[in-house]
Amino acid sequence: MSGGGLLEKAMGQQMPSDDESMVDEVVAEALPQPLKSKKLEFSPMAKAGAVIGLLAFVLMWFLDSYTLQDLVDPLPFGLIPLALFGGSFYLVWNGIGKQKTIVLVVCYIMLAGVPYIAGMSFSESITIAESELSDDSSEITLKIRGSSSSDLVDVMITYGGEPVYDEQVPFSINRADGYGDYGELNLQVSEWYSGNSDDNSEYEVTVSTGASSSSFILQSIHLQRTVDDVLSATAASIGENADCDSSKDSCVVGVGLTAWAGLDALGSNPPGGLPFADYSLVATLTHESGTVAISYPMVTVVNGVAQWESGNGQYGGGSANVGLEGSQLPLEGSVDDFDLNTRYIPIEDWGTDDYGCYEFTVSVTQTSPWSDGTEVSYTSYYDYEEQGGDEGDDPANTNPEDTEESWTATSSCS
């Protein structure tokens, strides 16, 4: 009993100590613990995505431009930063965990939309995207993209660096297509045309509204309207045997006439074509005596279409297209010659068929503003001759050789 009593006493003395230890542990767990510092770590993938996202944000401000977008039609430059944002999102998404997807999506939408929202809310910007010539070539229409609250714009056109037009005209951004909003501005060519456009003398139009302006070089082909070079030529249609008098082996049965009118070319090359020019052309074949052999009807060319009085087929069909594929204009007659590839004017329709030298002159005139009215002309020369008919040593020979006729280009009739 005494042993049991002692053991119980000893156990009784130990219990309070254990209870106190348990209490201390419970209290310690209940009390606030000192915070342990934990460093936020990002994976290399997340860091790379963040860098790409920052680059996309910067590029968004510079590449969200209608000018740049039109340079790479139909792919806008604005898609480049959007593609970078997409790659950045993928990298960051995989780098920080998919559980934060919703927050990440919201952040990226806000980041990508800032430049566009700022541009729409706080700025006014226009860009001349392209130009188009009207069907009758009288107007050039500018397509202008961007945003503008003004209903007027300042338009300046320079030719070779010198102002030729400066007006304030009505304008509004009132249309839209797959690339965005735009407006159209019509320019009447006759109001500011000052001469042919070329590499040294270009037409540049500048449109300004508020603090924004845009410049554009107009297409040279649309603004080449002044004839400054003319060329003329003829080709004889040669008949044989039955086509000629009994005393001739060959003869000139007619001539085909050709004129050229257009841009000055180097040397003796034909002039360059003027598909949108307006002018009048007169062609005359004259004998050295002053007698007119052929007076071709006046040809009027408007916007690449030549027309003249055909005389019921005596002078071809009365119309032709000229300028688009070159400056050549066949002045047709009534008879086909497949060797000449044209229709010639038969010699029986001439005002004279005497042998001698003939001058073929083509003259072109234009009215303002296409020209100051100065006539541009060119004359080519031809010898019409009879050869052969040699009587030999006996002047009394009543059967001389048959003759031949020729039509040969020469340098002059003097």
Could you report the per-residue pLDDT of 74-88, keeping only the tens digit for each? 445 556 766 776 776
236-245, 328-337, 344-353, 370-379: which has the minimum mean pLDDT? 236-245
**pLDDT of 197 strictly over 50:** yes
The edge-to-edge listing of strands for the beta sheet with 203-209 is 162-170, 152-159, 203-209, 212-217
- How many residues appear in the chain? 414
| pLDDT > 80? residue 40 | no
pLDDT value for 51: 74
Q: Where are the alpha helices (DSSP H) in 142-251?
A: none
Reply yes or no on whether the pLDDT at 324 is more than 50. yes
Q: What is the pLDDT of residues 86-133, one digit of tens each?
A: 776 666 667 666 555 566 666 666 666 665 555 544 456 899 999 999
Higher pLDDT, 3 or 386: 386
Q: Torsion-angle region of residue 155: left (phi > 0), alpha (psi -120 to 50) or beta? A: beta
Longest dimension (CA), the chain: 191
* Contact call for residues 50 and 69 (beta carbons, < 8 A): no
Percent of the chain exceeding pLDDT 90 equals 57
Domain residue spans of the chain = 44-122, 125-223, 229-387+402-410
Task: State percent of the chain over pLDDT 70.
Answer: 69
CB-based contacts of 87, cutoff 8 Å, min separation 6: 49, 52
Euclidean distance between CA atoms 237 and 344, whole angstroms: 7
What is the distance, to the nearest Å, from the Cα of residue 385 to the centroid of all Cα atoms in its chain? Answer: 51
Place of tokens 């613990």: 33
For residues 153-175, give the mean pLDDT: 95
Among 152, 149, 215, smallest CA distance to 181 is for 149
At residue 10, the pLDDT reads 47
What single-letter amino acid sits at 6? L
Order of strands, sheet of 175-177, starting from the edge strand that comes earlier in the sequence = 125-133, 139-147, 180-188, 175-177
Task: Return the residue matching tokens 């706080």.
Answer: 122
Compute the distance between CA of residue 363 and CA of residue 261 in angstroms, rounded to an integer: 9
| Crossing angle between the packed helical segments 44-63 and 79-96, to the nearest 10 degrees | 160
CB 410 within 8 A of CB 383: yes
Q: Say what angle helices 101-122 and 44-63 make with each other, to 10 degrees.
A: 20
Q: Which tokens go with 6?
A: 């002692």
Q: Alpha-carbon distance 241 to 253, whole Å?
A: 12
**316 in Cβ contact with 310 (< 8 Å):** yes
Residues 125-223, CATH architecture: Sandwich (2.60)
On average, the pLDDT of the chain sits at: 82
215 with 206: CB under 8 angstroms? Answer: yes
Q: How far, in Å, CA of 175 to CA of 350, rounded? A: 61
Q: Is the pLDDT of residue 413 over 50?
A: yes
Kindly state the helix (H) or strand (E) to which residue 79 belongs, with its residue range.
Answer: helix 79-96
Q: What angle, rounded to 10 degrees, do the helices at 79-96 and 101-122 form?
A: 160
What is the rounded CA–CA span in Å between residue 223 and residue 161?
15
- pLDDT band, very low/low/confident/very high, at 191 (cuts 50, 70, 90): very high
Task: Write out pLDDT tens, residues 260-280.
Answer: 999 998 878 999 999 999 999
Residue 388 — very low, low, confident or very high, per pLDDT cuts 50/70/90? confident
d(CA 385, CA 236) in angstroms, rounded, equals: 12
Distances (CA, A) of 124 to 120, 197, 245: 8, 32, 83
- The answer to whether residue 174 scores a pLDDT higher than 70 is yes
Bridge-partner residues for 346, per DSSP?
254
* SS3 at position 338: coil
